[in-house]
Amino acid sequence: MPNPDVDVIIVGAGIAGLTAAWRFLSEGHSVAVFEANERVGGRLYGYQVGERAVQLGGRWTGPGQDRIKSLAAELGINICANTTFSDASIGRAGEDAERVAEAVHKLDEIAGQVPLEAPWLAPNAHELDSQTLATWLSTNCDPDIASTVGGLLAGFLPKASDVSLLHTAFYLHSNGGLSGILGLNGPAHDSEMFDGGAHQLTDRLGEKLGSHIHLNTPVTQISQDQHGVRVTSGDLEMSARFAIVALPPTLASRVIYDPPMPPERDYLTQRMPIRGKIVVALLYDEPFWRNAGHRLVETDRLLLWDEGGDQNPAALSGLISIDWSRELWNIPAEDRRAAIIDEVSTVLGPKTRQCSDYHEIYWAAEPWSRGCNSYMTTGAWTAWGQALRRPVGRIHWAGAEISPQFVGQMDGAVRSAETTVDAICSLIKTS
Ligand SMILES: Cc1cc2nc3c(=O)[nH]c(=O)nc-3n(C[C@H](O)[C@H](O)[C@H](O)COP(=O)(O)OP(=O)(O)OC[C@H]3O[C@@H](n4cnc5c(N)ncnc54)[C@H](O)[C@@H]3O)c2cc1C
């Protein structure tokens, strides 16, 4: 490939892919972004309804998440306090708060010993990686505390019985510890948000990148040799000096690579599933729940919160549990909406049925996301973890899953993009 079409092709127009493309352009390099979906943003998704920004994907930020905040400032997006979710922490543990805090500190002690760049080098890495979070909870906590701690983690990790304890510890360390996430020693990890919604970040990057982005262009194959890469989507084929695959690892593994990925990369991506829930927004003419002192609606099957503010319409948004999401997705849409509103009405009463508008997304069913967050199953970090961030020839990786810091968050996605851009810019300079 002596005269490549562009310097770098980026696969995926989520926050990681778009940040990478924007940084390359700013450095004077040519780029093309291939995006499978009809929109940019990936797991950031939202839109305006009247005065209200309805957000169905990633949304909050917090202390230390400096890269996403710096990007927001560059794009002219203000950060404001998150007043919607402040009760969704250990306070929900009620009288058990002290015992829950004990378990949190024990987990944080383990987490603090996991090196973020190389979790497989943690003391007792194999022991931690051979058990799930559920095993640890059941041997270290009373059943009621295990269930509360599992519930607190369920917002950002999968079921405790699915995820490796080593991965849990890495995730917690990467995000400031469970104490930091819950805000036990200061503002919580979700104590801030983006004025107008987090999707503004990717919408604005998309506008800046304009015709460099090819929408409705799912990449099916990437070939490489010592000179460059060739990226294919249907009839469209383009060459470049380097490619960045900015997809969740499990989706990255669905692309055909020629030559094939080394076994360790393939084994790793087989062990990095992604899980997703239904996210809903219920809109109302009045925030009637506030008069009765409700800011959160929590049942065994859902967690919704008041979106706050005086914007019209008022809104309740939130998450349906993984199990109920799966069940609900198999019934007709109108029955699903009725079932969710019924469930909310068990807490907020009959006025819940005066819902003026209803929005939903099931992330697991989104063909180009297939879920909200990825994780590692037992044994993955210790056996194959070194393949996560290592480039394969001219193919590099980016995305929320790749970053040592703030893994799984928008901030981690931006960090991974910036690190990868720096690495490729150095290679371009020296070649
Ligand atoms: C419901 C929910 C709540 C969340 N809450 C928060 C939060 O409060 N704070 C926070 O920081 N993070 C949160 N997150 C996580 C955050 O949204 C993600 O970590 C981040 O947006 C991931 O960005 P990314 O660029 O790495 O990946 P993605 O956003 O997944 O981008 C990947 C892109 O690749 C595209 N694609 C897939 N396959 C192909 C292909 N073959 N060819 C071309 N394109 C392809 C996809 O369409 C997508 O646009 C949340 C996520 C969800 C879903």
pLDDT tens per residue across span 232-249: 999 999 999 999 999 999
Distance CA 161, CA 136 (A): 10
Under the banding of pLDDT at 50, 70 and 90, the label for residue 391 is very high
Section 398-424 average pLDDT: 98
For the 6-43+71-78+197-261+392-430 domain, the top CATH level (class) is alpha beta
- Would you state the structure tokens that stand for residue 335, as one six-digit string? 């029955």
Per the CB < 8 A criterion, the answer to whether 11 and 244 are in contact is: yes
CB neighbour list of residue 429: distance below 8 Å, 6 or more residues apart:
none
Residue 85 pLDDT: 61
| Shortest-distance atom of ligand 1 to CA 398 | 26
- SS3 of residue 234 by DSSP: coil
Whose CA is closest to 314, among 267, 349, 275, 356? 356
| pLDDT at residue 78 greater than cutoff 80 | yes
Residues in contact with ligand 1 by the CB-under-6-Å rule are: 11-17, 34-37, 42-44, 57-61, 190, 218-219, 246-248, 251, 255, 279, 363, 368-369, 372, 399-400, 408-411, 413
Q: φ and ψ at 191, to 5 degrees?
A: -85, -5
Whose CA is closest to 275, among 187, 362, 343, 170? 362
What distance in angstroms lies between residue 361's CA and the mean position of ligand 1's atoms? 14
Q: Can you name the CATH fold of 90-182?
A: Guanine Nucleotide Dissociation Inhibitor; domain 1 (1.10.405)
What distance in angstroms lies between residue 303's CA and the mean position of ligand 1's atoms? 21
What distance in angstroms lies between residue 116's CA and the mean position of ligand 1's atoms? 21
| pLDDT at residue 87 greater than cutoff 60 | no
Among 58-67, 184-193, 342-351, the range scoring the smallest mean pLDDT is 184-193
Residue 431 pLDDT: 82
Q: φ and ψ at 61, to 5 degrees?
A: -140, 180
| Shortest-distance atom of ligand 1 to CA 399 | 26
Which residues sit opposite 316 in a β-bridge? 282, 306
What distance in angstroms lies between residue 218's CA and the mean position of ligand 1's atoms? 15
What distance in angstroms lies between residue 111's CA and the mean position of ligand 1's atoms? 25
- Would you state the structure tokens that stand for residue 336, as one six-digit string? 């699903």
Atom 33 (ligand 1): residue with closest C-alpha? 12
Distance CA 387, CA 264 (A): 6
Q: DSSP secondary-structure letter at 132?
A: B
Residue 94 pLDDT: 66
- SS3 of residue 67 by DSSP: helix
Per the CB < 8 A criterion, the answer to whether 357 and 285 are in contact is: no
Atom 21 (ligand 1): residue with closest C-alpha? 43
By most ligand atoms within 8 Å of CB, the mutation choice from 171, 174, 247 for ligand 1 is 247
What distance in angstroms lies between residue 302's CA and the mean position of ligand 1's atoms? 22
| Shortest-distance atom of ligand 1 to CA 13 | 49
| pLDDT at residue 412 greater than cutoff 70 | yes
By most ligand atoms within 8 Å of CB, the mutation choice from 43, 217, 254, 388 for ligand 1 is 43
Under the banding of pLDDT at 50, 70 and 90, the label for residue 89 is low
Which residues sit opposite 221 in a β-bridge? 232, 256
Atom 14 (ligand 1): residue with closest C-alpha? 58
What distance in angstroms lies between residue 372's CA and the mean position of ligand 1's atoms? 7
What distance in angstroms lies between residue 399's CA and the mean position of ligand 1's atoms? 8
For residues 2-19, b (16+ Cβ closer than 10 Å) or e, as one string?
A: eebbbbbbbbbbbbbbbb
| pLDDT at residue 353 greater than cutoff 60 | yes
Under the banding of pLDDT at 50, 70 and 90, the label for residue 428 is very high
Architecture of domain 277-365 in CATH? Alpha-Beta Complex (3.90)
What distance in angstroms lies between residue 388's CA and the mean position of ligand 1's atoms? 17
| pLDDT at residue 125 greater than cutoff 60 | yes
Whose CA is closest to 44, among 216, 196, 199? 199
- SS3 of residue 257 by DSSP: strand
What distance in angstroms lies between residue 142's CA and the mean position of ligand 1's atoms? 35
pTM reported for the whole predicted model = 0.97
| pLDDT at residue 86 greater than cutoff 60 | no
Residue 414 pLDDT: 98
Atom 50 (ligand 1): residue with closest C-alpha? 58
Domain ranges across the chain: 6-43+71-78+197-261+392-430, 90-182, 277-365
Q: Do domains 6-43+71-78+197-261+392-430 and 90-182 have the same CATH topology?
A: no
Tens digits of residue pLDDT in 18-72:
999 999 999 999 999 999 999 999 999 999 999 999 999 999 999 999 999 999 9
| pLDDT at residue 422 greater than cutoff 80 | yes
By most ligand atoms within 8 Å of CB, the mutation choice from 84, 209, 410, 414 for ligand 1 is 410
Section 62-89 average pLDDT: 87
| Shortest-distance atom of ligand 1 to CA 43 | 29
Atom 5 (ligand 1): residue with closest C-alpha? 58
What distance in angstroms lies between residue 247's CA and the mean position of ligand 1's atoms? 8
Distance CA 158, CA 161 (A): 8
